[in-house]
Chain A
Amino acid sequence: MNFVFKISRLSALLMFAAAVSMPSGEVLAKEIVLGASVQLTGPVANTGRYYRDAYQLAIDRVNAAGGVKIGNESYKLALKLYDNQSDVNLSVRQYTQLVSQDKVDFLLGPFASNFALADSAVSEKYRIPMVQGGGASDQIFSRGFKYIFGTLAPASNYFGSTIEMLSGLDPAPKSVALLYADDAFDVSVAEGTRPKLKKAGLTLVLDERYSTNATDFSSLLAQIKSKNIDAVLVAGHETEILNFVRQAKSLAVAPKMYSFTVGVPSEDFRKALGKDADYAFGMTAWLPSTDLKDRWFGDAAQFAAVYKAKFGYDPDYHAASGVADVEALVQAAEMAGSTDPAKVRDALSKVKFDSLYGPIAFDENGQIDLPQTVIQVQGDRLVAIYGGNGKIAGPKYPMPAWDVR
Chain B
Amino acid sequence: MKTARTMLLLAALAVLAAVPWFGSDVLIQFGINALLLAVLAQGWNVIGGYAGYASFGNSVFYGLGSYGVAIAMAQWQLPFWVGLLFGAALAVVFAVLIGMPVLRLRGHYFAIATLALAQVMAAIVSNVKLAGRNVGLVLPPLNNDPLFYEFSLLLLVLATLTVYWLTRSRFGFGLIAIRENEEGAAVMGVNTTLYKTVAFAISGVFSALAGGIHAYWVTFIDPESAFDIGLNVKMIIMAVFGGPGTVFGPVVGALSLSAVSELLSSEITSFAGLFFGVVVVVAVVLMPRGLADVLRRFRGTGWRYFGENIRSHQL
List A residues at the B interface (Cβ < 8 Å).
1-7, 9-11, 13-14, 16-18, 20-21, 40-42, 82-83, 85, 88-90, 92-94, 96-97, 100-101, 114, 117-118, 121, 124-125, 139, 142-143, 182-184, 187-188
B222 touches A184 (CB 8 A): yes
B29 touches A93 (CB 8 A): yes
Checking A20, A100, A114 against B263 with a beta-carbon cut-off of 8 angstroms, the contacting residue is A20
Could you list 14 further interchain pairs (A-B, Cβ under 8 angstroms) beyond the known A7-B11, A14-B255? Answer: A2-B299, A4-B8, A11-B12, A13-B255, A16-B263, A18-B23, A20-B262, A21-B27, A40-B270, A90-B265, A92-B218, A100-B25, A117-B219, A124-B141
Checking A42, A101, A142 against B26 with a beta-carbon cut-off of 8 angstroms, the contacting residue is A101
Chain A nearest CB from B282 CB (Å) reads: 17
Closest to B262 in A: A17
A96 touches B135 (CB 8 A): no
Given contacts A3-B8, A14-B259, A88-B218, contact A96 B25 (CB under 8 A): yes
Provide the bound-state CA to CA distance between A258 and B103, in Å: 51
B134 touches A93 (CB 8 A): no
Most buried by A among B12, B29, B295, B299: B29
B138 touches A139 (CB 8 A): yes
A7 touches B12 (CB 8 A): yes
Is B127 in the interface zone, CB < 8 Å from A?
yes
A interface majority secondary structure = helix
Provide the bound-state CA to CA distance between A100 and B263, in Å: 18
Given contacts A85-B272, A97-B266, contact A121 B225 (CB under 8 A): no
Provide the bound-state CA to CA distance between A100 and B29, in Å: 12
Provide the bound-state CA to CA distance between A7 and B25, in Å: 23
A6 touches B252 (CB 8 A): yes
Checking A4, A41, A88, A101 against B225 with a beta-carbon cut-off of 8 angstroms, the contacting residue is A88
Given contacts A9-B252, A118-B219, A182-B126, contact A18 B295 (CB under 8 A): no
A184 touches B265 (CB 8 A): no
Checking A3, A18, A92 against B27 with a beta-carbon cut-off of 8 angstroms, the contacting residue is A18
Those 8 A-B pairs whose CB atoms lie nearest each other, nearest first: A117-B220, A83-B269, A184-B135, A100-B25, A13-B259, A2-B295, A21-B26, A125-B143
Give the residues in chain A near B273, CB-CB below 8 Å.
Answer: 41-42, 85
Chain A nearest CB from B68 CB (Å) reads: 19
Is B42 in the interface zone, CB < 8 Å from A?
no
**Interface size bracket, B side:** 35 or more
Is B83 in the interface zone, CB < 8 Å from A?
no
Give the residues in chain A near B27, CB-CB below 8 Å.
Answer: 17-18, 21
Is B304 in the interface zone, CB < 8 Å from A?
no
Is B80 in the interface zone, CB < 8 Å from A?
no
A97 touches B26 (CB 8 A): yes
Give the residues in chain B near A1, CB-CB below 8 Å.
Answer: 299
Give the residues in chain B near A188, CB-CB below 8 Å.
Answer: 135
Chain B nearest CB from A307 CB (Å) reads: 22
Give the residues in chain A near B256, CB-CB below 8 Å.
Answer: 9-10, 13
Give the residues in chain A near B15, CB-CB below 8 Å.
Answer: 11, 14
Is B313 in the interface zone, CB < 8 Å from A?
no
Checking B8, B26, B218 against A89 with a beta-carbon cut-off of 8 angstroms, the contacting residue is B218
A83 touches B265 (CB 8 A): yes
Chain B stretch 1-37: residues in CB contact (< 8 A) with chain A? 4-5, 8-9, 11-12, 15-16, 19, 23-27, 29-30, 33
Give the residues in chain B near A187, CB-CB below 8 Å.
Answer: 133-135
Give the residues in chain A near B265, CB-CB below 8 Å.
Answer: 83, 85, 90
User: What are 29 A-B pairs with beta-carbon distances under 8 A?
Assistant: A2-B299, A3-B8, A4-B8, A5-B295, A10-B256, A13-B256, A14-B255, A16-B263, A17-B262, A17-B263, A20-B266, A40-B269, A41-B272, A85-B265, A89-B33, A89-B218, A93-B26, A93-B33, A93-B262, A96-B25, A97-B26, A100-B25, A114-B136, A114-B220, A117-B138, A142-B138, A183-B134, A184-B134, A187-B135
